[in-house]
Structure 1
Amino acid sequence: MDQKKNKPERPFYIPPKNVPTPSEIISDAKRSIKNPRSLPTKRPFTPRDERRSLFPTTTCRNPDSRPPSAFSLSSKHFDGPESRPVSGARLIPLDHTPQIPELDSSESTCSPLPPKPPTDPNKTQRKYTRNSRLYSGNSVEESTKTVKTSSLTDLSKQVKAPDSEPPKRVNSGPKERTPVEGREETQPIPLEERGEGDGKEMPHRAPSSAAVRSPPRSAGSREESRVGSGGSKRTSSAGSTGRTGSAGKREVEETPEEASFYTDHIAPLLEKMTVSAKKKEADHVVKFTDELYTILLKENLLGKNCKRRSVILKTIFKILDLDDPKVLLRLARLILSFKVSGNNLTSVCKLVFKVSRNEKNDPQFLRGDILDLLLETVRNTDPVSSSEALIYCVGAIKFMTGNTKIVKELVKKDCIEALANLLIGINKTNRENTKPNDQLGHILVQLTAAMRNLADASSSRERLLNSKGLESLCYVIDTYTADGDLMLNISRIFSKVTLHTDCCMALITQPSAYKSFIHLLNKQQHKADVVVRVCFILGNMTAKNDDARLRLFQENKSMEALLAIMKYYLDRDIKIRSREKEKETSKQDSSKGNDCEDVLIKTVRVVANMSINEMVGPVLASNQQFVELLLNILECKDVQSSEELSLNTVATINNLSFYNTKTSAITDQQMRIIEVLLKMVLADNMEAMVESSRVFGNLTRQKCVRDYLVENKVDQMMITMLDSGNREVVYIACGVLINFMVDDENRSVLKKDGGIAKLVEVLRDFAKTDWELASMVCQILWNYSVKITSTNSCFGEQESKDLNDVLLELLDRECAFEDLDDEDEEMKHFFQDTWSEDFCPVATQLLQRMESYSSDLEPIESPSES
């Protein structure tokens, strides 16, 4: 209600802004018949990619630098306590381990010297044994444990290496540990808890203070013991209870209520999930996973609020080896809900991507809130530090936008806004750097592909405009012009949205749009799929706005770019066609030929639309190179096999022929143009005849053209077209006949071929709804009767009577507007204006001429008086 009140009220009699009135529509339609006009065309065909892959099969990306579409993924690729701080560098394993001799009470207190230390005393080295249960140099954690006993402590005080400092022992603390992708990160386990051994007696260990403080474990079993056991002073972000962090700060301890809740509700579900997974009972795993998610959500224990977060995650990670899409997607939902980061975020995004690659799994994404979690990941993930995670996350969304049901849900959940915000963030990062980031480019390929599919959804255009999506895409063009995959996606987006006036106007007013598109045409000139769409976009912009025509023409080297494209693809098309005739081409080459023709169609349309502007048109008409290219197209193509290209080219020549300037290249080449058009007229194609007749209407202003067309019986053809019943065809024929009637030697054919009677019928059929056409009929008859001596002999007796009756009826105001009762006031005013301004002046003069020469009888003299 508030929004309606805030809107300014508009009086009903004032037409809304930017909405043409009926009279304007009719006037524009009439002007388009003889004046320059914009050309329609179909949007370039985009085949659906049935194969779901990260990048298209024809990608220009280096396989070594781009992320793979197919990969192996298992529980080993997830880390345990995933958010442990890392240093970015790992310690080098020790190659040398001092051998500590066993002590005997009977021996002397003096001990033999230890082995020689490493050459570099600062370079610690370590030899791993099977009992240490540590990974090799590629392990997730390369940690060590210092074995301490009272006897060994005394021994270390007595033993010293000669002539050298004692070797330093380096214990890798939490800040020096870096998880490695592809391995499971594991907490160090106290030696007395480890079940592995090689049969040798293990040295005695004194329990650490942390182990003493640890409460008894009932529900967490061995896994919980490993994560939260003593001996390790590391702090997990999952919130293990009662431990001291590396900075000496004590974490918030788990309350008895929290521990009881975990034991009673969460731990049993985790156990059931694990047992069901081992038995490969996927439905049971799904059931228990949903129950666990519901409980955690209800108790607000998702995110990083749960103190047993790492324990739950470790259990989930172990179940990921169960290869069932329903299970994997449920587990991915849980992992994403815990707000994982780093390697785990990348792995879970890969997991979702892997599931989304199969179209059969699409219904699973409509269950639960997995779509919300993916969009939340898009909104909250840093594209620089987590670029790989976003590549696969947005890639999964891209796959799902191929499903119409999921598209509707994504649009409702503000997916377009989320992608637009990510796009803005990436642009901001690229502005701050001197060179665009390749990894960000990989994200943009997925993002723009998803936007391309979402652009067809309802309300998508409004969302794109409100989120500044179009503006951001223009900046991407300038930043990644050489990226063929990215440019193809963006051109597909614009080719869709510019079919609609609102988006087209937004792009027209974008200052950098013209420069960006011209730069893209120059950079990607040989990529037909990009060029054809960019030209289609420019054609849409110039079709709907006169300012766009002028701004595009004034853009630096815009015409050079368009002409270069026309020449390149025309030459390429000619070569391919010549090979086809020699039967040396393959089917693939034939498709390339079609691509060339499509590019020519869209490029010619751009220039045709630009020529509508009164400043641009005369300049283009004087461009010899451009006119020559148009004629080459008509001479190389025929209307049967290349109908749209031929018709667009003729329409472009018609637009240019409107400007009858001294420097016009159309005038210089007019006889050549007429010869080419006559071939199209003789073809059995009504549209070709109409388009050619438009050009005849402009070129017949020249006497030499009229004479040549009369020799080829084009005047008779125009008279025949009066019977078509099509208003546009009749209008064009009348325009040509007006010019033919200027020459005295060409007038007789009008009466001879029954043209007078046909013109009278045109007045009866169309006059009351088209006074401009009625005016043209009267002009033809006026030019025809310029040397009249008798009305009946000039027009014919019956034709004169019919014409006189029709003119009298049409000049009577009441009769002329008797059929307008159902029309609104605006239409009535429009018809009345055109009747009084266009029709009445010429019709009145014609009627007066006919009445002046209406009798062939000589006056009778009065008899003389007798």
Structure 2
Amino acid sequence: MITVPTITPTEDFTGVNGLNLASMERKHEICSPFIPRRNPARKTSAEIISEARQSLRVQSTQRPFTPRDGHRQLFGKSSVRADRDNRPPSTFSLHAQNFDAPDSRPGSGTRLSPLDHKPKFPVPCDAEDPFKALPKPPTDPLEVKRGLPGGRARLLRSGSLTTLSPVEGHIHVKEQFNPGLGQKQLSAKRLPSTDHTEVRSGPLKTGRCRTASESRLMQPGVDSGVRLTEERAERKTELGNGDNSKSTKEDAESLVWNNMIAPLLQQLESMAAGSSEGSLDSLCDLCDGLHGTLAEADMLGRRCKRRSGILRTLFRLIDLNSAQLNLHIAKLCLALCVSGNNLLNICKLIFQISRSESNDILFQNNSIIGPVLGILSNEDVSSSGEALLYCVGTLKFLSGNSALLRLLLDNNCVGVAQKLIQRLCTAEDTNFTIAGHILVQLTATLRNLADHPDSRPIFISFSMLSELCLVLRHHCKDPDICTNISRIYSKLSSYSECRLALAQTPDCYQLFLELLSKHHQKQDLVVRLLFTLGNLTAKSEEARRQLFQCDACMDTLLQLYDTYQRRDNSPHTPSQKGPLSPSESQAPPGSVQEDEDVLVKLVRVLANMCIHPAVGPALANNTICIQLLMETIELRSVQESEELLVNVAATINNLSFYQEESSVLRRSQLTIAKLMLKLVLSSSRDAMLEATRVYGNLSQSKHVRDFIMQNKVHQFVVTLLDSKSTEMCFSACGVLTNLALDPANRDSLSVEGAAAKLVDCLRDFGPGDWQLAGQVCQALWNMIVCGSEKLLDTQERESLLEFLTTCLDEQEALKWIENEDIRDFHRACWELEFLPVAQKLMKTLRTPDLTA
């Protein structure tokens, strides 16, 4: 830029994008953000407003819009998994027969290793019906002791739920009660936990006859195994193998079972048999009552010995196909700690209910979200991966509801997600596919949670922004996961505390660049990563430096720029080709508007980066960068691409701050000046403002000033002084200040009435904007420096002197400001920006040759 070493009454002021300098020293201290101040610790209010108006400005843009998916499904239409055969389905049917009864997985959750040999039965086995040849127990109980030591128990397979008898038949509350038996014998008749598939052989009691229901022992099905286990456990108790405390506990459980639980199960069965709309609410109440009874008796989880009977009853109710009832059933089943296939089906059931938006109210009124989050906290990925998938899919659907969003946050959903992410990244070596499916749902849920303002401190407290970077590194080839995380970052990076947390994540800039290169064809991912980078570089010098210093940073960004330039789809024909021919840059499949959105975000990153003193000169000397920016202005119209062209002009304006003798931008400044005509003559106020700012910097060149005068651009600039916008007047004053450097131009400016308009501008805006007032005085200084009598008549000169005299009095200048803080701000601007130039201008106006 042109600088003036000293200021005398005969010298001109040089304008820089409307930012003109009273002295070289003042210019360095206030206007340049790159040269250290004499006292770096002291930063005045005038410096703050000066930085806001300096040539280098941060660009802003709107966050990319993410439309809601109208259909609730695990993987949307845009997912890369949409056509894969191995992905879990979103639609399926569930019936009672899909559940296992009893739920026989061991309570520890440990998988048993399969036997290496086939067990040999001591008796012949009928191939048609192996249960027909079950061995008969010995009549003498002492025969048990004479058996082979360590003999293995025979395993009984659970049958289909459809072969179960009604609840009255398999609970045996009334049927097995015999008044002739003692209380001890009655209490001994209990159903042992069906979690144990191993049944010890023992003698049968032969002192009484079998009932009709007991005769089904030899029939195939689950009841045979349950009854055999029950009778053997009864004989074991009668032989005195249990201690007194255990017997007391069993007595208490039997009482609760007989008096409270069994009647509730019978009511559920009978009411379900004659189900109607009126009875559904009653069934739900019964389920809640059963839940409360089990909780009070400490029989939830796997502690209830007869939980298999409860589960069989609950599973039958699923066929009633009531979403409200099924949600109560699912909550109770989770409280009973179902596992294996039953856990998977319960998770599918909850997922199926959540697919309908009309069922969201059911989740608000039912406390099932806590148990669902409990599954995510406790279940193992390797053994229950698909169940976890449907649980997280449920949370994804529910998080789309604002009321449920608050409920999820209150239940520590973010904390649970963070722990699950850590487990998924640990287990991905052996379960990479299912881990990826789960992470798609989990990141989509976090994306919805990020919408809530209360989620931001929670995300930071759980280091979620850093955790998501870890996921990106592990799943960098998965477009679905990367896109969801980019949406989270694009939302949260708009807030300073989240930007700080993300910027502190090691190598996040390099990671984003690698993703941009790897997924350059995926527009929705690219545009959000660029938006995030634009947010990070908007306020941080360190972020600008770190991004620029990343490997292949400019190569990646400029290659993206070239790819999304869309030369083939533009109605305009460029006068020069970009750095790459259209055949070399394959156009992405998005629409023209989507591609333009990418360029808006990308150009914003460039504009923000070049504010850094080490980055700006490098970009100003980058041939590809300058050519792409100029090509964009040439290819597009302001009417169709206003935001893009405004951003491009702002980037060129920032780069024009660094006009070294050998820079590419300096060699191209005349071409750029011609391209700016399109923006100046448009109907867009923002485009006119940015183009005027560019002319404010480029007009330091004599060739550009001549171009402006030859193409009558100065006439347009003078009319901008009538604008009601202080920013527009400020930029116009900068151009006029530079144009007035040439004596030949002053007459043309006088003909347009520039001086009179500058005086009007000073009167209208001066007392409220002392920086603008100082800029006007600089423009007037350059216009009257040669003593031109055509600029101001006597009345105008006297009026200007009177106004300046009043404004040079501090009390008069600041008397209308009441707030002390604002008064200090305006006083600083008045002292540094206005006072020095106004005093010199008054001396010039009072010289004899001008006042004669």
Q: TM-score range by the shorter chain?
A: 0.7 to 0.9
Higher deviation after alignment, 350-359 or 254-263: 254-263
- When residues 479 and 130 of structure 1 are mapped into structure 2, their CA distance, relative to the original with a 3 A threshold, is same
Selected match of 1:511 from 506, 514, 522: 506
Selected match of 1:382 from 380, 384, 392: 380
Q: Does 1:475 align with 2:473?
A: no
TM superposition shift of 1:810? 0.7
User: Counterpart in 2 of 1:73?
Assistant: 94
Q: Does 1:798 align with 2:795?
A: yes
- When residues 26 and 79 of structure 1 are mapped into structure 2, their CA distance, relative to the original with a 3 A threshold, is farther
User: Counterpart in 2 of 1:299?
Assistant: 297
- SS of the residue corresponding to residue 477 of structure 2 reads coil
User: Counterpart in 2 of 1:864?
Assistant: none
Selected match of 2:833 from 817, 838, 845: 838
TM superposition shift of 1:429? 3.5
> Aligned partners of 2:331 and 2:796: how far apart in 1?
85
> Aligned partners of 2:207 and 2:692: how far apart in 1?
96
CA offset digits 1:165-206 (Å, max 9, x no partner): xxxxx98855xx8989xx659999xxxx9xxxxxxxxxxxxx
> Aligned partners of 2:596 and 2:827: how far apart in 1?
47
TM superposition shift of 1:832? 2.0
User: Counterpart in 2 of 1:37?
Assistant: 57
- When residues 329 and 148 of structure 1 are mapped into structure 2, their CA distance, relative to the original with a 3 A threshold, is same
**Structure 2: runs of 5 or more not aligned:** 1-40, 140-150, 171-199, 574-586
- SS of the residue corresponding to residue 704 of structure 1 reads helix
Retained in 2: the 8 A contact 1:693–1:733? yes
User: Counterpart in 2 of 1:212?
Assistant: 205
User: Counterpart in 2 of 1:596?
Assistant: 595
> Aligned partners of 2:117 and 2:273: how far apart in 1?
37
Selected match of 1:813 from 800, 810, 815: 810
Retained in 1: the 8 A contact 2:137–2:201? no
Alignment of 1:99-138 (within 5 A): 127-130=126-129, 132=131
Using structure 2 for the length normalisation, give the TM-score: 0.80
- SS of the residue corresponding to residue 85 of structure 2 reads coil
What is the one-letter code of the residue matched to 2:773?
A
Retained in 2: the 8 A contact 1:480–1:486? yes
Alignment of 1:53-202 (within 5 A): 53-61=73-81, 63-85=84-106, 87-89=112-114, 127-130=126-129, 132=131, 145-147=134-136, 173-174=154-155
> Aligned partners of 1:217 and 1:37: how far apart in 2?
93
TM superposition shift of 1:485? 0.9
> Aligned partners of 1:299 and 1:214: how far apart in 2?
34
TM superposition shift of 1:312? 1.2
User: Counterpart in 1 of 2:718?
Assistant: 719
> Aligned partners of 2:235 and 2:658: how far apart in 1?
89
- When residues 642 and 90 of structure 1 are mapped into structure 2, their CA distance, relative to the original with a 3 A threshold, is farther
Retained in 2: the 8 A contact 1:75–1:317? yes
CA RMSD of aligned residues (A): 3.6
> Aligned partners of 1:178 and 1:655: how far apart in 2?
77
What is the one-letter code of the residue matched to 1:397?
L
User: Counterpart in 2 of 1:823?
Assistant: 819
- When residues 241 and 325 of structure 1 are mapped into structure 2, their CA distance, relative to the original with a 3 A threshold, is farther
TM superposition shift of 1:442? 0.9
- When residues 839 and 579 of structure 1 are mapped into structure 2, their CA distance, relative to the original with a 3 A threshold, is closer
What is the one-letter code of the residue matched to 2:477?
A
TM superposition shift of 1:567? 0.8
> Aligned partners of 1:644 and 1:241: how far apart in 2?
83
What is the one-letter code of the residue matched to 2:756?
A
- When residues 748 and 172 of structure 1 are mapped into structure 2, their CA distance, relative to the original with a 3 A threshold, is farther
Using structure 1 for the length normalisation, give the TM-score: 0.79
- When residues 536 and 469 of structure 1 are mapped into structure 2, their CA distance, relative to the original with a 3 A threshold, is same
What is the one-letter code of the residue matched to 1:68?
P
- When residues 178 and 387 of structure 1 are mapped into structure 2, their CA distance, relative to the original with a 3 A threshold, is farther
Retained in 1: the 8 A contact 2:570–2:636? no
Retained in 2: the 8 A contact 1:214–1:242? no
- When residues 384 and 179 of structure 1 are mapped into structure 2, their CA distance, relative to the original with a 3 A threshold, is farther
CA offset digits 1:841-864 (Å, max 9, x no partner): 11111111111136665xxxxxxx
TM superposition shift of 1:764? 1.6
User: Counterpart in 2 of 1:201?
Assistant: none
User: Counterpart in 2 of 1:424?
Assistant: 422
- When residues 229 and 847 of structure 1 are mapped into structure 2, their CA distance, relative to the original with a 3 A threshold, is same
TM superposition shift of 1:768? 2.1
What is the one-letter code of the residue matched to 2:400?
G
Retained in 2: the 8 A contact 1:82–1:185? no
Retained in 1: the 8 A contact 2:123–2:135? no
User: Counterpart in 2 of 1:760?
Assistant: 759
TM superposition shift of 1:662? 2.4
Retained in 1: the 8 A contact 2:638–2:679? yes
Retained in 1: the 8 A contact 2:138–2:204? no
Retained in 2: the 8 A contact 1:618–1:659? yes
Retained in 2: the 8 A contact 1:349–1:392? yes
- Over the matched positions of the two proteins, sequence identity in percent amounts to 36
Q: Does 1:502 align with 2:497?
A: yes
- SS of the residue corresponding to residue 229 of structure 1 reads helix
**Structure 1: runs of 5 or more not aligned:** 1-20, 101-125, 134-143, 151-169, 194-206, 235-239, 581-587, 858-866
> Aligned partners of 1:46 and 1:129: how far apart in 2?
60
Count residues in correspondence. 739
- SS of the residue corresponding to residue 280 of structure 1 reads coil
Retained in 2: the 8 A contact 1:210–1:243? no
Retained in 2: the 8 A contact 1:528–1:599? yes
TM superposition shift of 1:660? 1.2
TM superposition shift of 1:812? 1.2
- When residues 837 and 458 of structure 1 are mapped into structure 2, their CA distance, relative to the original with a 3 A threshold, is closer
> Aligned partners of 1:396 and 1:657: how far apart in 2?
53
CA offset digits 1:594-621 (Å, max 9, x no partner): 2111111111111111111111111111
Q: Does 1:443 align with 2:441?
A: no
Q: Does 1:784 align with 2:783?
A: yes
- SS of the residue corresponding to residue 398 of structure 1 reads helix
> Aligned partners of 1:129 and 1:566: how far apart in 2?
73
CA offset digits 1:273-319 (Å, max 9, x no partner): 12222223333321211211122223332222322222211221222
Q: Does 1:490 align with 2:505?
A: no
Q: Which has the higher contact order (CA 8 A, sep 6+)?
A: 2
Retained in 1: the 8 A contact 2:570–2:635? no
> Aligned partners of 2:651 and 2:498: how far apart in 1?
26
- When residues 233 and 741 of structure 1 are mapped into structure 2, their CA distance, relative to the original with a 3 A threshold, is farther
User: Counterpart in 2 of 1:403?
Assistant: 401
User: Counterpart in 1 of 2:327?
Assistant: 329
User: Counterpart in 1 of 2:31?
Assistant: none
Retained in 1: the 8 A contact 2:103–2:338? yes
TM superposition shift of 1:130? 4.9
> Aligned partners of 2:42 and 2:553: how far apart in 1?
36
User: Counterpart in 2 of 1:52?
Assistant: 72
